[in-house]
Structure 1
Amino acid sequence: MSAREAGATLSVAPIEDADVADIVTLWERCGLTRPWNEPAADIALARRDTNATILVGREGEAIVATALVGHDGHRGWVYYVAVDPGHQKKGFGRTIMEAAEDWLRKTGVEKIMLLVRPENTAVRAFYESIGYGEQPRIIFAKWLDGRPLTP
């Protein structure tokens, strides 16, 4: 069901300076933050160059959805896809992901990637429902400041 069919509309636009605190609050409410990642720093980094942006979905004046989208010059990546728990099941997740895909298409990127924690079965089902498929990969990571790996 789309946002329009549910009787709700979501307008999507790039982040504005005044949005940062509300976005961090949304990410916390959606359980997307981790102690080792500072969300405001992630926002600042995404806004620093033209290869990334944060798309903000609003219902009226309220921020109810986000997607941090960017590319590494080869593949597109999406992070911090969030829909306020009180606004889920309205098609907003699909709408914000379509906006992220459109942003990447406009930059010439042909493939979008995202990471989902294995235990997050509800989100896995959502992405499968909008045409995403699992591609088994082994992920290697390293903190550049020397701290031990986080879960």
Structure 2
Amino acid sequence: MIRSYESADESAVIELWRRCELIRPWNDPHKDIRRKLTTQAELFLVGVLYGEIVGTAMAGYDGHRGWVNYLAVDPEHRRAGIGRRLMRRAEENLTELGCPKLNLQVRTGNHEVLEFYRRLGYRVDEVVSLGKRLISDTPEV
């Protein structure tokens, strides 16, 4: 089952992200969740199997492009179609909002994930991704 995130899911979602090695020191997962819940919270999806959260996808649409972050599938449940179903639901939700194109970012060395997205029809855009942190999630040292 795929449904929108609920506040009771926080611990299980963060633990899933840890198992999937998505958490980085510069991104506080609690803050990321709180921030997402302020904007298009219904697009924060969780995949549930036998009452356990086994997948997530955090989608959003800014009026120009859609984005997906934190696509995660529990390593014990990979290759069962969960990631594909989460992405399909995110794409459907974004399409309903009038979103013409979906973007996402994958770390360059993550070849398995790049291949997963290629199988779903995603292609590498000839662009350079830039970023600038406006609010630090890590304490100043």
Same fold by TM (over 0.5)?
yes
In the alignment, structure 1 residue 31 sits paired with structure 2 residue 21: yes
- The equivalent of 2:117 in structure 1 is 127
Quick one: structure 1 residues 87 and 145, their matched pair in 2 at CA, closer, same or farther if it must change by over 3 Å? Answer: closer
- The equivalent of 2:50 in structure 1 is 60
- The equivalent of 1:108 in structure 2 is 98
In structure 1, stretches of 5+ residues that fail to align are 1-10
- If the length of structure 1 is used for normalisation, what is the TM-score? 0.86
Quick one: structure 1 residues 77 and 18, their matched pair in 2 at CA, closer, same or farther if it must change by over 3 Å? Answer: same
Equivalent pair of 2:60/2:67 in contact (CA under 8 Å) = yes
Q: How many residues align?
A: 137
Deviation of 1:51 (Å):
7.1
Larger deviation: 50-59 or 60-69? 50-59
Deviation of 1:52 (Å):
6.4
In the alignment, structure 1 residue 81 sits paired with structure 2 residue 71: yes
Structure 1 runs of 4+ aligned residues shifted over 6 Å read none
The one-letter amino acid of 1:97's match is M
Equivalent pair of 2:43/2:90 in contact (CA under 8 Å) = no
Deviations 1:28-66 (A, max 9, x none): 100111000001111111110237631000012000010
Deviation of 1:89 (Å):
0.8
Identity of aligned residues (%): 41
- The equivalent of 1:12 in structure 2 is 2
Deviation of 1:124 (Å):
0.3
Deviation of 1:112 (Å):
0.5
Deviation of 1:142 (Å):
1.7
Give the Cα–Cα distance (whole angstroms) in 2 for the partners of residues 19 and 144 of structure 1: 27
- The equivalent of 2:38 in structure 1 is 48
Give the Cα–Cα distance (whole angstroms) in 1 for the partners of residues 5 and 136 of structure 2: 32
Give the Cα–Cα distance (whole angstroms) in 2 for the partners of residues 142 and 133 of structure 1: 24
Deviations 1:99-148 (A, max 9, x none): 1101101111111000001100000000001111110211222222589x
The one-letter amino acid of 1:60's match is Y
Equivalent pair of 2:5/2:42 in contact (CA under 8 Å) = no
C-alpha RMSD over aligned residues: 1.6
